[in-house]
Chains A and B, each alone.
Chain A
Amino acid sequence: MSKEIHASEDRLHTRALIPLLILTIVEYEVFTFSKATVAAAKQDAWLSILIGAIIGSFFVYLFIKLAARFPNKSYFQYLPIVWGKPLGFLISNLYLLFWLALLSSIFYETLLANKMLFLPQTPTIIPLILFALSLIWLVSYGLVPMIRFFQLLLPFLAIPLLLLALLFTTTIKIDRFLPVLESGLLPVIKGSYYSLGAFQGPEVLLFAAPFFLRIKDGVKSSLLAYNVTAFFGWSNTVAAIGILGVQNINESVLPGIDVVNLVEFPGFPVERFGLLLTLPWLIGIYATLAIYLYLLCSSTFYLFNLRPRNWITFFITAIPVTIAYFLPNEAWHELLRLYLTFVTVPIVYILPVMTLLLAVIRKKGRST
């Protein structure tokens, strides 16, 4: 895997950024959306997501600019060049911790969904281990095969989600969005922060850049991918507010699932549309886990000068799996998610932009 950080022979077209970004960003929180956004902005959460998407798009544009300054290097390779060695090492380790916490959270959500919805009778450790083993297998092939695999998976994620967005329109009640801006603009801005915090994943651009032919041409693809995920998040939030109502969202553990099960289509009085969510959910979670596990493993090998070994990958994977398995209860997980949402903006968005600023000031990398 560490070899691939320097890889240049098998490069991808920037179009491949679309499946990479969509499948990395779409996970549990985009499906069930950020409850923190709804808690903050209430019925105006849809507005928060739109504002968050505009701000996020600007950040994604800057990420491409940063990656284009160091087209053959991964983020961790140029952090010490820009920030100096000690600070670069510290920031890199901060990312490792962030990914570890995020992976633990997503593994826990997988466990929770299995326990409550898909496999309630099966011992939770069994699907967790099977998931982890298949992830290790995929990660061992490296980033380029993973992205090619994602290209194949993308339609199976996008089509059911678009179909659901259409179905939602039949059941949404407009009066649940009223009054607009009930408590002014401040809660909406606060909601935008949480909305941005729910979209972990754009930072993968900075690590995947060396595997793309001309990353500086990737602006359109990246913005398209980011905004497609923002649309999924927005449509799910609009549906949840319009169908479930703000108070029920705040009280629900899996509001995204509740909303889909509440969709009523004329002529189909008893059908449960929740099943439409199963395939995108599995693909979204699996792809996000795979990407973050890859980033965690490859970065650990690189930062600590380790030779890539399968047993080390097994060991690294075991850490978030163990944390997820032994997390005492859902309340602890909700707290972990809230903290993650809160720190996402500085870690995922602000730090790379500061790196770009510093690179420009210190004249590091190619000027674009």
Chain B
Amino acid sequence: MRSKLALFLILPLLLLTPGCWDLQDVNDTAFVLGIGIDSPSNSDTAKYKVTFEFAKPLSTRENPKAQSLAASMEADSILQAIQRMQASISRRISLSHLRLVAIGEDVARTENFQYLTNYIMREPDMALRLRLVFVQNAEARQFFYTNPRFENRVAAEMVAMGMLQKELDLNRTNNFLDFIIDLNRTKGVALGSRVSIQKGENVVVRDGAAIFKDWKLVAWLSADEAQASNWLLEKTLAVVVAKEKENTYTYRVRKKDTKFKPVLDDGKPSFVVAVSTEGMVMEEAGKDIDFSKPENLKKMEELFNQAISQQVKSAIDKSQKELKADYLGFDKAFQKYHSEAFEFLNWSEIYPTIPIQVQVDCKIKAYGLHK
């Protein structure tokens, strides 16, 4: 009898199981796929202009494609912008599917990155697996109004590009969290992903890199400069073009290994950077060389050694002499071998003067299907 009574008392609890408070109907939700952050049009009234790219599913009868909707709001904080945006749309904003954060050049140059993204790090609704891009010479808002070439939404195009471009050496491919980890480690120095908008076609090109120093954007790297930096930073496989007089040869790297060898001599650090590659000659224009002769291959290897060495040296020079910021990760390599000495060094101060020697060992293993 008692158990029946208990069952009778427990049964009404079933009414609570649908969870009225947390009911989330997809049809009543506005999923944000991308967020863009820019400087406001009037800095007296707001601190940021936040652009949202919402998924806008249409019925299959209307249009088989699902499209997106972009809208901007100005506010003093990101959360306030979300709140204000909520006042202008009929569905509850959800950040659970946010995949992309785009930062406009203007705000990236003036605002500390830590403050810009503080909300993103705190919001439990969001997964931190975000793509982060910095928009050169434009607002992040404009970026969300570009025409994606293959996907239906800009955010989806960027996510797909991010997956593919891990193998492309013309850009920096780190995601949001990796960028934050680099910034924290170096107290404000890091290399992020660059995007630019091709004006005529209004499409996005993702190449090059954005350089951060003291938590703010200070310079851009072009695609070629990013490729040069990637010899030291990424595992991406390069395509190297070497020129000798009128002749041009193209080498596709199939295997790459870069080693930083830090040396501490009488308290003074120096480095040897050893790059070794294996790959194939895939294109030649000009004087026809018979690659089946080992001595010719040896000459070619020398040529590519010089080309790669020049690229690596130019990347180091840019970082040491021009920008005076260690975004290439020499600090990490030094700390790995000399952690005690590292604690007593003012790295940002000594980095521009550290002697760095470059050694390249390029091997040509094949030359495609033609001699």
Residues of A within 8 A of B (CB): 116-123, 126, 130, 175-176, 178-179, 182-183, 243-245, 247-248, 251, 254, 257-258, 261-264, 266, 269-270, 272, 274
Contact = CB atoms under 8 A, between A and B. Distances in A.
Interface in B164-215: 177, 180-181, 184-185
Contacts of B99: 270
B336 interface: yes
18 contacts: A116-B124, A119-B19, A121-B21, A121-B22, A122-B22, A126-B16, A130-B13, A176-B181, A179-B336, A182-B335, A182-B339, A248-B177, A248-B180, A248-B184, A262-B127, A263-B129, A266-B163, A269-B162
Given A179-B337, A247-B185, A122 B21 contact: yes
A262 B128 contact: yes
Contacts of A264: 129
Contacts of A116: 124
Contacts of A243: 177
A122 B13 contact: no
A119 B177 contact: no
Contacts of B163: 266, 269
B160 interface: yes
Contact of A272 (B121, B127, B339): B127
Contacts of A247: 181, 184-185
A269 B160 contact: yes
A31 B177 CA distance: 21
Contacts of B13: 130
A39 to B, nearest CB: 15
Nearest to A244: B177
Nearest to B6: A137
B129 A261 contact: yes
Highest count of chain A CB atoms <10 Å: which of B127, B335, B336: B127
Contacts of B22: 118-122
B124 A123 contact: no
Contacts of B127: 261-262, 272, 274
Contact of B339 (A119, A179, A244, A263): A179
A32 to B, nearest CB: 13
A126 B19 CA distance: 10
B109 interface: no
B122 to A, nearest CB: 9
Contacts of B324: none
B237 to A, nearest CB: 17
Contacts of A270: 97, 99, 159
A243 B180 CA distance: 12
Given A245-B181, A248-B177, 5 more contacts: A120-B22, A130-B13, A262-B128, A269-B163, A272-B129
A7 to B, nearest CB: 22
A264 B176 CA distance: 13
B56 interface: no
In order of increasing CB-CB distance, the 6 nearest A-B pairs are A261-B127, A122-B21, A121-B21, A116-B124, A245-B181, A182-B339
B177 A262 contact: yes
A127 to B, nearest CB: 9
A245 B336 CA distance: 15
Nearest to A171: B129
Contacts of B121: 251
Contacts of B318: none
B332 interface: yes
A126 B22 CA distance: 12
Contacts of A244: 177
Interface in B86-109: 96-97, 99
Contacts of A258: 128
A302 B19 CA distance: 39
Highest count of chain A CB atoms <10 Å: which of B22, B99, B129, B339: B129
Interface in B70-98: 96-97
Nearest to B20: A122
A248 B177 CA distance: 9
